[in-house]
Structure 1
Amino acid sequence: MENTNGKLKRELGLFSAITIVIGMVIGSGIFFKPAIVFKNAGSPFMGIMAWVIGGLITVASGLTIAEIAVAIPKTGGVFVYLKELYGEKWAFLFGWVQTVVYVPGSVAAQAIVLSTQITSFVDLTPVQQKLVAIFFLIFIAVMNVISTKLGGKIQVAATIAKLLPIIIIITLGFARGTAKGLVFNIPGGAASAGLGAAILGTLWAYDGWVSVGNMAGELKNPKKDLPKSIILGLFLVIVVYALVNVALIKIMPVEAIIASSKPASDASVVLFGSLGAKFISAGIAISIFGALNGYMMTGVRIPFAMAQERQLPFSNFLGKVNKKFETPLNSFILVVILASVYVLSGSFNTLTDLVMFILWIFFTMAVAGIFILRTKFKHIKTSYHVPLYPIVPIIGIVGSIYIIVSTLIANMSYAIFGTIITLLGFPVYYYLKKKNN
């Protein structure tokens, strides 16, 4: 039985929206990125600055996207923004990459990392890890299918739980940390090129916040709650990231952080002893669980929005809203099936790496769309306007271009293959357009 009006229930409030932003941004990055960031930055102080600057670039994009989101408060996020501002073809290519590879590949990657983290408590064979990963995919999908509100509550609980170990590290790090003279000590060898590489590392750790726009059609008050959730969520993340890194420096010598593959776990051992590593492992597992739930909750709205616009094969099936639960059940089924295939094949990391270059091009287009919105859509009146226009949007665009160029230099082959995957969407687009006409 399907909901005939094709509408999703508006049952997510501001707090749920903020936790979606925080839950998707704070995944495993904060636990593993400090080592490479400090190594590239060349000093503790420049490392902290990299986290702050990366956060400010992200906030600039967030402040900009927020105005677009308020003007176009529809389910589908960036897909819808691209369609309204640039046209159907660009939106289709973005949605195509998201639907076929990025969304299922991302949730598959999160599920695999989560099942791997479980091995800190239970011994699992590689095959068992994959089965556990698929179990998590199905479990989270079922919870979100039963109710969007339930999925939102899971996100709230997971976000609160993941912040607890972070808060403990920050508090005890400042109270009991013994490493001295490191935070503001800048060795003479620090170089601006190193800072640039460090900022690039932090920008990946801030990724994911824009997906809250996918849920716009299910927010109770999207015109007010979307900009608030993006801005408040990102500022909280910046504060958390900066404080965690300062705390780590106070707990351990920066040389030890750089040499560690899991600095947060090592810091917990210093603070709590051997049980500390178990505690942080549990915190990381909860953190990844929350990120997986966030990616699943928001990601399925991409194929759903495309199907409602008849821009995917089997659109009649994928674009339906289940009558009993009033959620996009069929889109969940598609994402879980594709993600399970990626889990079993083990190729999901390669697939997601291939499309990151293309996704950042689309993301830059979305941020730059503010200029189109302000010139061609003057009739749309919004209750929120990006501050310090056009300076703030330009900062966001420059940061995004920096990621694109850096990725192009570092992984030319990924950029080429990512482009090929995207271009494969053209024949599908023209076939569907001819069929619909």
Structure 2
Amino acid sequence: MQQNNQADVKLDRNIGLWSALSLVIGTIIGAGVFVRQSAVLDEAGSTTMGLLSWLAGGILTLTAGLTIAEIASQLPQTGGLYVYMEKIYGEIWGFLSGWMQIIIYGPAMIASLGLYLAILLSDFFGFPSSWNVPIAITAVLAVGLLNLLSNRYGSIFAIITTICKLIPIAALIIFGLFFGNHNALGQSISDVHASTGNFGVAILATLFAFDGWILVANLGGEIKNPRKLLPQAITYGILAVLAIYVLVSFGVYRAIPANQIHELGTNAIPYIATHAFGELGGKVLSIGIIISIVGCMNGKIMTFPRIMYAMARKHQLPFSKALGYLHPKSHAPIVSIVVEMVIVSVLILFANPDRLSELCIFTVYCFYLMAFFGVFILRKRNTGQSRVFSTPLFPLTPIIAILGSLFVIVSEIQSDLIGVLTSFIFVILGIPVFYYARKKRAGLSTNELDIDEEID
């Protein structure tokens, strides 16, 4: 890959607040709010505790977002968490956090979305299940091709899909609030004994539905005035999703009784849509979920390759010269995007993406935990310096975020120790790659080494 005049080609800094906000909301809201209602209610044991679970998960996520927002305002560079880990703890920690995200976690999440989207499309159009894998790969590649263009198109697509997915969500909320005839509070599931209701596990289920809020930080080098807009997008985006999730759950509990939600499982919301709006309503909801997943996929495809690009710019990966290439017209990291799509396609063909993404949850939250501690380190390191954004209620907010991450980490160890140990293998595999790339980088001349992007 030739890099003619690459020094003059920069990422386009044209993502505004609405685009960034749409990416936060769109990347968080996939299928979780539609399919996890029964799972959360089953663990919580009652509608009251179910609502509190969604609220608690949202508050924990908000504390995490507010904590990272302060770091993002100080380090608003392309790469997000990868950059934060490197600047706070050193190069190898940044590399390992980035390595885990670009090799396994990100591709597995995108592949899972692609496969679930294929299942919905097959059900909607009556395709045979044997078509699921080709449909999934086609969908992933189509969204990937969109992101080979200027980030302006990915941003516009994020706004459109976010608006579209909010329409069926609003319909569900309005129907439940104004036409539901059940009490949203106080209902218990008679088939589930109180002893089996686990509030902590219910919160854990909602936390996974809130995951993805941090990915907009990967676009720090492409956001207008990132020191100001990044914290705003993260904060307002999480608040919006929190309100949506609680209102959807409240509407569902109003629409049908708790026992019926339990019996219907993942079909609870489709049943409500069909019951409320007829067969057409069920179809519209299916389209809404499909659009929701496509929008979520777009956000992840837009953001994860930026980590690979940022690592390549620092010559931390094999073939860094190619992976750090920006197209001279679209100013998109096209090679990193293509490589990420190839990894995703391989996972769809030969692996279980759901299982891989579950395995990496533990590692992701370990890096989250370190990042939350990082806000204390930066404050001590930068004593006396002014900040564009400061975490509200400091130090209580980051402490709650830290406790939330510890809760997820301990829960993962208790429920899936083999998976936790396996996730370490993925991280450890990055260590020899790091030292190989560093040794190769040592042989480069000063002119061949890229310089970190300047931040206005």
Is 1:150 aligned to 2:153, yes or no? yes
2:287 aligns to what? 282
CA distance in 1 between counterparts of 2:385 and 2:140 reads 39
TM-score (normalizing by structure 1): 0.96
Is 1:316 aligned to 2:316, yes or no? no
**SS, match of residue 337 in structure 1:** helix
Over the aligned positions, Cα root-mean-square deviation in angstroms equals 1.7
Structure 1 pair 185–114 and aligned structure 2 pair: CA distance change class (3 A) = closer
**SS, match of residue 76 in structure 1:** coil
Q: 1:107 aligns with which of 89, 107, 110?
A: 110
2:336 aligns to what? 331
CA distance in 2 between counterparts of 1:93 and 1:165 reads 39
2:73 aligns to what? 70
Identity across matched positions, percent: 37
Residue 16 of structure 1: how far off its partner (Å):
0.5
CA distance in 2 between counterparts of 1:49 and 1:190 reads 16
Q: 1:183 aligns with which of 182, 185, 192?
A: 185
**SS, match of residue 198 in structure 2:** helix
Is 1:88 aligned to 2:104, yes or no? no
One-letter amino acid of the counterpart of residue 221, structure 2? G
Q: Is the 8 A contact 2:184 2:250 kept in 1?
A: no
Structure 1 pair 33–325 and aligned structure 2 pair: CA distance change class (3 A) = same
How many residues get paired? 436
1:220 aligns to what? 224
CA distance in 2 between counterparts of 1:379 and 1:317 reads 41
Instruction: Tell me whether 394-403 or 131-140 shows the greater mean CA deviation.
Output: 131-140
Residue 5 of structure 1: how far off its partner (Å):
3.5
**SS, match of residue 8 in structure 2:** coil
List aligned pairs for 1:11-410, cutoff 5 A.
Answer: 11-179=14-182, 181-185=183-187, 194-260=198-264, 261-378=266-383, 381-410=386-415
**SS, match of residue 388 in structure 1:** coil
Residue 224 of structure 1: how far off its partner (Å):
1.1
Q: Is the 8 A contact 1:71 1:380 kept in 2?
A: no
Structure 1 pair 192–236 and aligned structure 2 pair: CA distance change class (3 A) = farther
Instruction: Tell me whether 54-63 or 371-380 shows the greater mean CA deviation.
Output: 371-380
Q: Is the 8 A contact 1:4 1:321 kept in 2?
A: no
**SS, match of residue 124 in structure 2:** coil
Instruction: Tell me whether 384-393 or 168-177 shows the greater mean CA deviation.
Output: 168-177
Q: Tell me, which stretches of 5 or more residues in structure 1 are unaligned? A: none
CA distance in 2 between counterparts of 1:157 and 1:173 reads 25
One-letter amino acid of the counterpart of residue 75, structure 2? I
Residue 63 of structure 1: how far off its partner (Å):
0.5
Residue 393 of structure 1: how far off its partner (Å):
0.2
Structure 1 pair 30–211 and aligned structure 2 pair: CA distance change class (3 A) = same
CA distance in 2 between counterparts of 1:374 and 1:186 reads 46
1:15-41 CA distance string (max 9 Å, x none): 001111100111100001110111111
CA distance in 2 between counterparts of 1:85 and 1:128 reads 46
Structure 1 pair 43–89 and aligned structure 2 pair: CA distance change class (3 A) = same
Instruction: Tell me whether 332-341 or 270-279 shows the greater mean CA deviation.
Output: 270-279
CA distance in 2 between counterparts of 1:210 and 1:270 reads 36
TM-score (normalizing by structure 2): 0.92
Instruction: Tell me whether 378-387 or 335-344 shows the greater mean CA deviation.
Output: 378-387
User: Where does structure 1 differ by over 6 angstroms across 4 or more consecutive aligned residues?
Assistant: 186-189
Q: Is the 8 A contact 1:16 1:156 kept in 2?
A: yes
CA distance in 1 between counterparts of 2:195 and 2:234 reads 32
